[in-house]
Chains A and B, each alone.
Chain A
Amino acid sequence: MKVGVVTFPGSNCDTDTMAAMEQLGVQALPLWYTEKSLHGVERLILPGGFSYGDYLRSGALAAQAPIMDAVEKAVSESALPVLGICNGFQILCERGLLPGALRPNSSGEFRCTWEYTRVTSVPEGFFGLKEGDVLRMPIAHHEGAYGVASGQLQALFENHQVFLQYSDEKGVLHALTNPQGSVANIAGITQGSAMGLMPHPERAMAIYLGSADGQRFLKAWLGEDGS
Chain B
Amino acid sequence: MNFRDVGLTQEEFEIIQRQLGRNPNDLELGLFGVLWSEHCSYKSSKSLLSWLPHEGRAVIQGPGENAGIVSLNEDIQVAFKVESHNHPSYVEPVQGAATGVGGILRDIIAMGARPVALADSLRFGTDDAARMIQNGVVEGIGKYGNAIGIPTVNGEVAYSPVYDKNPLVNVMAIGLLSGEHSVNAKGARPGSYLVLLGQPTGRDGIHGASLLASQDFGNVTDDMRPTVQVGDPFMGKMLMEATLQAIATDKLDAVQDLGAAGLTSSVAELAYRSKVGAIIRLELVACREQGMTPYEIMLSETQERMLLVVSPDHWPVIEPLVRHWEVPYGIIGEITEDRHLVVAWDGEIRASVPPEILAGSCPLRSASPKWADEIRRNVPNLTPFRPLTFDAKEAVAVLGSYDCRSRHPIFDRYDSMILTNTVWGPNHDLAILRVRGSNEGLAIAVSGPGRYAAIDPYSGGMAGVSRVIGLLAGQGAEVLGLTDGVNAGNPDKEQVFKELTGLMAGVADACKVFEVPVTGGNVSLHNETDGDSIWPTVVIGAVGRHHHPLEPIPDGPWREETDIVHVHPHGEWSLGGSVYESLFHRLSAYPRLDPKRVADLYQVLAQLATKVPSYAMRMIGSGGLFVTLAKTLLTMPSRLGMDVSIPPEDAVRHLFSEVSGQCLIFCNPGTTKSVLELLSPVTAADVIGRVIPRSDLVIHLRQSYAFERTKLDRVFRDGYGG
Which A residues lie at the B interface, using CB under 8 A? 9-10, 12-13, 15-16, 19-20, 49-50, 52-55, 109-113, 138, 140, 142, 200, 202-203, 205, 208-210
| 28 A/B residue pairs, CB under 8 Å, sorted by A | A9-B234, A9-B237, A9-B325, A12-B149, A12-B237, A12-B418, A13-B418, A20-B420, A53-B147, A53-B232, A53-B233, A54-B147, A109-B139, A109-B412, A110-B146, A110-B415, A111-B413, A112-B413, A112-B417, A138-B417, A140-B417, A142-B146, A208-B423, A208-B434, A209-B417, A209-B420, A209-B423, A210-B417
A55 engages B418 (CB within 8 Å): no
Chain A: CB-nearest residue to B135 = A109
Given contacts A53-B233, A112-B416, 13 further A-B contacts (CB under 8 A): A10-B237, A10-B238, A12-B237, A16-B418, A53-B232, A54-B147, A109-B139, A110-B415, A112-B412, A140-B418, A200-B417, A203-B418, A205-B420
Among B139, B238, B415, the most chain A Cβ lie within 10 Å of the Cβ of B415
- A208: chain B residues within 8 A (beta carbon): 423, 434, 550-551
B415 engages A49 (CB within 8 Å): no
Q: Please measure, in the bound complex, the distance between the C-alpha atom of A204 and the C-alpha atom of B147, giving whole angstroms.
A: 20
B413 engages A202 (CB within 8 Å): no
Q: Please measure, in the bound complex, the distance between the C-alpha atom of A218 and the C-alpha atom of B326, giving whole angstroms.
A: 32
Closest 5 CB pairs of A and B: A12-B149, A53-B234, A50-B147, A208-B550, A140-B415
Interface string of B416-435 (1 = CB under 8 A from A): 11111011000000000010
- A19: chain B residues within 8 A (beta carbon): 420, 436
Q: Please measure, in the bound complex, the distance between the C-alpha atom of A15 and the C-alpha atom of B415, giving whole angstroms.
A: 16
Which B540-557 residues have a C-beta within 8 angstroms of A? 550-551
Q: Please measure, in the bound complex, the distance between the C-alpha atom of A142 and the C-alpha atom of B143, giving whole angstroms.
A: 10
B146 engages A111 (CB within 8 Å): no
- A203: chain B residues within 8 A (beta carbon): 417-418, 420
Q: Is B34 an interface residue (CB 8 A)?
A: no
- B412: chain A residues within 8 A (beta carbon): 109, 111-113
- A113: chain B residues within 8 A (beta carbon): 412
Q: Please measure, in the bound complex, the distance between the C-alpha atom of A58 and the C-alpha atom of B642, giving whole angstroms.
A: 47
Q: Please measure, in the bound complex, the distance between the C-alpha atom of A209 and the C-alpha atom of B432, giving whole angstroms.
A: 10
- B98: chain A residues within 8 A (beta carbon): none
- B414: chain A residues within 8 A (beta carbon): 110, 112
B413 engages A49 (CB within 8 Å): no
Chain A: CB-nearest residue to B549 = A208
Nearest-Cβ distance from residue A65 to partner chain B, whole angstroms:
12
Nearest-Cβ distance from residue B94 to partner chain A, whole angstroms:
13
A10 engages B326 (CB within 8 Å): no
- B423: chain A residues within 8 A (beta carbon): 208-209
Among B148, B417, B423, the most chain A Cβ lie within 10 Å of the Cβ of B417
Chain B: CB-nearest residue to A214 = B420
A55 engages B420 (CB within 8 Å): no
Among B142, B418, B419, B423, the most chain A Cβ lie within 10 Å of the Cβ of B418
A12 engages B148 (CB within 8 Å): yes
Chain A: CB-nearest residue to B421 = A209
Chain A: CB-nearest residue to B423 = A208
Q: Please measure, in the bound complex, the distance between the C-alpha atom of A109 and the C-alpha atom of B237, giving whole angstroms.
A: 21
- B411: chain A residues within 8 A (beta carbon): 112
- A15: chain B residues within 8 A (beta carbon): 419
Nearest-Cβ distance from residue A185 to partner chain B, whole angstroms:
19
Contacts A53-B147, A53-B232 given; indicate if A110 touches B417 (C-beta within 8 A): no
Contacts A50-B147, A110-B413 given; indicate if A202 touches B234 (C-beta within 8 A): no
Chain A: CB-nearest residue to B552 = A208
* Among candidates B139, B419, B551, residue contacting A16 with C-beta atoms closer than 8 Å: B419
- B146: chain A residues within 8 A (beta carbon): 50, 110, 112, 140, 142
Q: Please measure, in the bound complex, the distance between the C-alpha atom of A34 and the C-alpha atom of B233, giving whole angstroms.
A: 21
Chain B: CB-nearest residue to A12 = B149
B551 engages A10 (CB within 8 Å): no
Q: Please measure, in the bound complex, the distance between the C-alpha atom of A111 and the C-alpha atom of B139, giving whole angstroms.
A: 11
Which B11-42 residues have a C-beta within 8 angstroms of A? none
- A112: chain B residues within 8 A (beta carbon): 146, 411-417
- B434: chain A residues within 8 A (beta carbon): 208
Contacts A50-B146, A111-B412 given; indicate if A16 touches B234 (C-beta within 8 A): no
B422 engages A52 (CB within 8 Å): no
Nearest-Cβ distance from residue B649 to partner chain A, whole angstroms:
44
B238 engages A9 (CB within 8 Å): yes
- B232: chain A residues within 8 A (beta carbon): 53
- A209: chain B residues within 8 A (beta carbon): 417, 420, 422-423
Q: Please measure, in the bound complex, the distance between the C-alpha atom of A209 and the C-alpha atom of B419, giving whole angstroms.
A: 11
Chain A: CB-nearest residue to B411 = A112
- B415: chain A residues within 8 A (beta carbon): 110, 112, 140
* Among candidates B147, B416, B418, residue contacting A10 with C-beta atoms closer than 8 Å: B147
Q: Please measure, in the bound complex, the distance between the C-alpha atom of A113 and the C-alpha atom of B148, giving whole angstroms.
A: 18
B142 engages A110 (CB within 8 Å): yes
Q: Please measure, in the bound complex, the distance between the C-alpha atom of A13 and the C-alpha atom of B150, giving whole angstroms.
A: 10
- B413: chain A residues within 8 A (beta carbon): 109-112
- A210: chain B residues within 8 A (beta carbon): 417
Chain B: CB-nearest residue to A50 = B147
Interface string of B431-455 (1 = CB under 8 A from A): 0001010000000000000000000
Which B255-309 residues have a C-beta within 8 angstroms of A? none
Nearest-Cβ distance from residue B242 to partner chain A, whole angstroms:
11
- B419: chain A residues within 8 A (beta carbon): 15-16
Interface string of B215-259 (1 = CB under 8 A from A): 000000000000000001111011000000000000000000000
Q: Please measure, in the bound complex, the distance between the C-alpha atom of A10 and the C-alpha atom of B237, giving whole angstroms.
A: 6
* Among candidates A16, A52, A111, residue contacting B420 with C-beta atoms closer than 8 Å: A16
- A9: chain B residues within 8 A (beta carbon): 234, 237-238, 325-326
Nearest-Cβ distance from residue A213 to partner chain B, whole angstroms:
14
- A10: chain B residues within 8 A (beta carbon): 147, 234, 237-238
- B142: chain A residues within 8 A (beta carbon): 110
Chain A: CB-nearest residue to B325 = A9
Nearest-Cβ distance from residue A58 to partner chain B, whole angstroms:
11
Chain B: CB-nearest residue to A23 = B420
